[in-house]
Structure 1
Amino acid sequence: MTKVLVLYYSTYGHMETMAEAVAAGARAAGAQADIKRVPETVPEDIARANHFKLDQAAPVATPADLEAYDAIIVGAPTRFGRMASQMAAFWDQTGSLWFKGALIGKVGAAFTSTATQHGGQETTLFSIITNLLHHGMVISGLPYNFQGQMRLDEITGGAPYGATTIAAGDGSRAVSANERDGAHFLGQRVAQLAAKLAD
């Protein structure tokens, strides 16, 4: 059975919600999908004062975990047009995996959230994808046969480079049904590609 890791960092819970939808999509394609998060680096008192969602069920990942999976789908919110530092710090610890080529040939993909429609979704996706490419991973985007990313009747996330959501500056906007559908589609597509590559 194809093994998919959904690896995320979430401040207010949006990426957690998207991670659950990504994993559900991978499972719909017949894969085993595990959800793990990267460690929080903000001191707990500051995180609580700023209303971070600290009660997340997913276990905390270590870089060594990555080697066990056929595909890794990475989600992190934007920070000034790039992935949040918590996720960047995690990937900065994967040098030993890079050195031995442990992730070469695995399927990789990305998802993100921004405060606004034009808050850096695509550049953040690329900041994640760059790390995956350096590890020799095979990248999947969110193709346009997911028609939801072409909707004009509502404000919505979605890009050909990955699944996205819009959170609002204070994190008050919930992930929409269309954005969850995009995340589900991405998870399903990645699991299907990983299964084909394993044949």
Structure 2
Amino acid sequence: MREPTPHTEAFGIVAEFDRAEDLVNAVHKTRDAGFRRIDAYTPFPIAELTDALDFTENRVPWLTLAGGLFGAALGYGMQVWTNLDYPIDIGGRPLLAPPAFMLITFELTVLFAVLFSIGGMLILNHLPRLHHPIFSVDHFHLASSDKFFLVIFGDDDQFHPGHTRAFLDGLQPVAISLVEHTEEPE
């Protein structure tokens, strides 16, 4: 999910929950209330959360496919070009022997698929990123151990700091925090 730019009033408002079920219920209620620019942070994967968030990002698989196709074309093309540019007739064997080209073609397919997917994931996640505005939330470090967080981004069409905070308060979270845009530390 794309995050709000620093031109918005605030990065968002974060609600902290103790249980995964509470977070999933809160996400359902938030979506039902009309909020669309939301995200959740959990210490472990929650299957129901993907559907509740309506998460449909699929750019990394397409990058993986593009990398695999590029690697296959590069591997096969390199071997064809090499055999045609430097022909060596050995025992009457054909210069272009597709079965012999499959090993290198397969290896470069896998190599470039992996490189494209890792590179794409790093770029799409804006990594390496040393600071994120949500890191300023007091207990957010617990998102990797036992707490669950829901954020409504500041660029949501229905976002208003007071109304959004009141809405989140009705979901009975442990805590609510307004997240401001912060500069990356130097």
> Is the radius of gyration larger for structure 1 or structure 2?
2
TM-score range, shorter chain: under 0.3
TM-score in terms of structure 1 length: 0.23
Q: What is the TM-score with the length of structure 2 in the denominator?
A: 0.24
Higher helix residue share: 2
Higher relative contact order (CA 8 A, sep 6+): 2
